[in-house]
Amino acid sequence: MWARFINTALGLWLMITPGIFQYSSAAADNGHILGPVIVTFSVVAMWEATRVVRKWNFPVAIWLLAAPWILGYENTIAIVSDMGVGVLVLIFSSIRGKIEKNYGGGWSSLWQQNPEHIQKTKQN
């Protein structure tokens, strides 16, 4: 859970740094678009049933590593910030988190003889 909070803070950092450090328009737009995306995925992944959403930050983080070179950032602080946030988001999105309950089993439960989530339903 703590890794999701850190990713949320990193997304907020992406949103506020263009205003603080006066980034160019490409770097500022990138931060203003990807910051809320990281925050959204991190907040949704805080719940046990949607923990897998943390992986949706992987492509965003990879883009943050490549964006300074593809978009041609002019500000060194923007390059360092985006690449640092990209690495940290990759690291903290890789942390699984504790899952205590079973939430259905997904598609694989269709082929199981006696899925666990159906057993619990019959007992109640």
- 52 CB-near residues (< 8 Å, 6+ apart): 45
Asked if residue 23 lies in contact with residue 31, where contact means CB atoms within 8 angstroms, the answer is yes
Give the tens place of pLDDT for each residue, 88-123: 999 999 998 777 776 666 666 666 676 565 655 555
Rounded to whole angstroms, the Cα distance separating 74 from 36 reads: 23
Give the tens place of pLDDT for each residue, 59-93: 999 999 999 999 988 888 999 999 999 999 999 99
Rounded to whole angstroms, the Cα distance separating 28 from 24 reads: 6
pLDDT number for residue 88? 97
pLDDT number for residue 95? 92
